[in-house]
Amino acid sequence: MVTAIHRKTIQNSITLRGIGVHSGKMVTLRLHPAEANTGLIFYLYKGTQKIRIPISLDHVVDTSNATTIGDGSSNRVQTIEHLLAAVHTLGITDCIFEIDSVEVPIMDGSSLPFWEGIRSAGIRVLDETIEPITISNPIWVVDGDKYLVMLPSDELKVTYSIDFNHPLLRGQSYTTTLDESILGTDILPARTFGFLKDVEALQARGLAMGGSLDNAVVLTDDGYLNETLRYDNECVRHKILDLIGDLAVMGRPFRGHLIASKAGHALDISLAKCIMSQVTGNELTQFKSKRVPLFSKKQAVR
């Protein structure tokens, strides 16, 4: 039986500032406490406009290089996964995010600054509760040689494998449970990574203008451009960070054993949609089974 847990928000408002990885411009992100059942909502400020964009699967509009949400028109906020990984880790279910740019600041390329910022704001436990997502049967998505599976489990854990055409990233794998402590110390500090040749190509197109060794692990043809790494397997740990942040778009805590191979944002969101489809169906069935009929067939009007 699933035990409901208390919803949470932050105690005090906080402001975080950092560079947008694509624009290279300064971004201001403000987090505010919210009432129970508000959920997670972005307010994008464009001039005098204040545009509301809820964080939900229905509002995901792009997963090509990051996870992007939108309001159905041209208004978007991208690269939300690092922020949401920290939000999920700390159990925040209700919060307002105000932002003055179309991208969440990259900060140091990890979730650590968001995690530290939220902790410094304090966390308020609300009276209302929410049921974590649990599944009764395996759920999976496949795209060629890439796959992502969620198995039933009473706890959250992950087995993640990557295999890039690079001497340091062939067959890298990591398995761990993912409670708040482990996420905070072993996953959230892992920085995003990219290949130098790809970064140069993006910058030639006017993208990744804010990318640097201060906010990314950059790989050359046979090594790293960075002098040091935070972990020997920092890249696969960051892929786990992205997965947790992407699944947090579901808007509920979740439990299960995640098994991933060469996955990415598109596959993460596809799995989230499959999970919510099964969970919604199961919960509707359970609700229906508890209904008491008002009359029998024999009493029905013909």
Same domain, 161 and 52: no
Contact by Cβ (8 Å): 45, 99: yes
Of all residues in the chain, what percent carry a pLDDT higher than 90?
Answer: 84
**In the prediction, which pLDDT does 281 show?**
66
Of all residues in the chain, what percent carry a pLDDT higher than 70?
Answer: 92
Let me know if residue 297 belongs to a domain.
no
Same domain, 113 and 198: no
Residue 290, pLDDT > 70, answer no
Q: Is 238 annotated as a binding residue?
A: yes
Let me know if residue 294 belongs to a domain.
no
Let me know if residue 104 belongs to a domain.
yes
Residue 301, pLDDT > 50, answer no
Residue 292, pLDDT > 50, answer no
Lowest mean pLDDT among 33-37, 277-281, 290-294: 290-294
Is 59 one of the catalytic residues?
Answer: no
Same domain, 75 and 200: no
Residue range 182-200: mean pLDDT, rounded: 95
Let me know if residue 288 belongs to a domain.
no
**In the prediction, which pLDDT does 296 show?**
38
Let me know if residue 300 belongs to a domain.
no
Same domain, 93 and 126: yes
> Which of 88, 112, 130 is the last residue before a domain boundary?
130
Q: Is 82 annotated as a binding residue?
A: yes
Same domain, 221 and 157: yes
Same domain, 185 and 88: no
At 160 the three-state DSSP class reads: strand
Same domain, 123 and 144: no
> Which of 81, 113, 130 is the last residue before a domain boundary?
130
Confidence of residue 283 (pLDDT cuts 50, 70, 90): low
Residue 157, pLDDT > 70, answer yes
State the total domains in the chain.
2
Bridge partners (DSSP) of residue 26 are 19
CATH code (residue 92): 3.30.230.20
Same domain, 272 and 146: yes
Residue 203, pLDDT > 90, answer no
Residue range 153-170: mean pLDDT, rounded: 95
Q: Is 163 annotated as a binding residue?
A: no
Residue range 207-213: mean pLDDT, rounded: 89
Same domain, 126 and 191: no
- Torsion sign (Cα): 192, 196, 197, 202: positive
267's enclosing H/E stretch is helix 265-289
Q: What is the pTM of this model?
A: 0.92
Lowest mean pLDDT among 2-6, 102-106, 265-269, 298-302: 298-302
Residue range 106-120: mean pLDDT, rounded: 98
Range of the domain at 188: 139-283
Strands (E) in the chain, as ranges, are 5-10, 14-19, 26-33, 40-46, 49-54, 60-62, 68-70, 76-78, 95-99, 123-130, 139-143, 146-151, 156-162, 172-177, 193-195, 217-219, 256-261
Average pLDDT, the chain: 92
